[in-house]
Amino acid sequence: MIRKTLILTLLIALLTACAPQAAPTPAPVSTEIPATEAAVAESGLTFTDGLGREITLVEIPQRVVSLAPSNTEILFAVGAGSQVVGRDEFSDYPAEAASIESVGGSMGEYSVEAIVALEPDLVLAAEINTPELIKQLEDLGLTVYYLSNPTTLEEMYVNLEIAAQLTGQDASGLIESLQVRVAAVDEKIGPLSYRPYIFYEIDASDPNKPWTYGPGTFGNWLIERAGGFNIASDTADAYPQLSLEQIVVANPSIIILGDAMWGVTSESVLERAGWETIEAVKSNNIFPIDDNLISRPGPRLVDGLEALAKIFHPGVFE
């Protein structure tokens, strides 16, 4: 029951997380150096968020509440971890996040009272948060910035820069290091003509109709950039359930277990009735992965890209 509740919560978050939207852009502010307290105090900083709203900061926020795991990871990555005073229930990375007060978020239910009690000078929302929640917080006098999901790794870099500017940090070194790592993957994958067929499993509570990543999702574009072909890339839904017959016909040569976090193992897949004719099962090319590297639109997407590329094309990464 606990696992099913957690999976349902994850799927609710996933289903609301990946609809492509225009990337938010900050108002003209230097992208080379962080805003200083003196500069902000003198004129303030105005940003346009993912909902098209102008957000003005009169001082650099020192009390930030994050409403999504991806936002928490981003804030810590850009150096603003010490400014985070509240986080959603599922923010578990980095480890230091566990010591920060939770404001809820299970099944999409946040404690507005807990958020207000923390007296934040900035609330960083994401696409898993409803416009109604954002309006409720704004009506209570809180400053809320809505950070849209990226649709490419390059847009993810923009989000890092936005978070850095919002908190007076400098993300240039972080972004450059991520770009170098991605370029290294692109360089190895680019010349390859072979693209293995991939089935990425999100949830197989019903092994005859498991959930997977479809078009427009982080999982789909990471699979493609890592040099694979997602067998669900041409489905109508972003998070489709594929029938066993569809998977057998597609005959993936590699299966990725994003649901390994729920205890699913490669051994259990080998024992599934009807799966024995699939190439990945016959060759035991079944690999567990930390799905947080794939589903959270933060800097660890690069970790996910590297992990997938090494699984798909191990020979070029030896």
Q: Give the tens place of pLDDT for each residue, 157-190.
A: 999 999 999 999 999 999 999 999 999 999 999 9
pLDDT < 70 positions in the chain: 1-43
Check residue 60 and give its pLDDT: 96
* Cα–Cα distance measured from residue 285 to residue 234, given in angstroms and rounded to the nearest whole number: 23
Q: Is 189 left (phi over 0), alpha (psi -120 to 50) or beta?
A: alpha
Per the DSSP assignment, residues forming a β-bridge with 147 are 126
Q: Which helix (DSSP H) or strand (DSSP E) does residue 286 occupy?
A: strand 286-288
Question: For the structural domain made of 8-29+39-171, what CATH number should be given?
Answer: 3.40.50.1980
Check residue 38 and give its pLDDT: 46
* Cα–Cα distance measured from residue 223 to residue 256, given in angstroms and rounded to the nearest whole number: 10
Quick check: 277 and 248 in contact, CB under 8 A? yes
Name the pTM for this structure: 0.87
Architecture of domain 191-317: 3-Layer(aba) Sandwich (3.40)
CA-nearest of 8, 269, 36, 72 to 169 is 36
At 142, list the tokens: 């809180």
Residue 158 neighbours by CB distance under 10 Å: 18
Q: Where are the domains of the chain?
A: 8-29+39-171, 191-317
Q: Which amino acid is at 198?
A: I
Quick check: 210 and 203 in contact, CB under 8 A? yes
Same-fold call for 8-29+39-171 versus 191-317: yes
Check residue 107 and give its pLDDT: 79
* Cα–Cα distance measured from residue 158 to residue 139, given in angstroms and rounded to the nearest whole number: 28
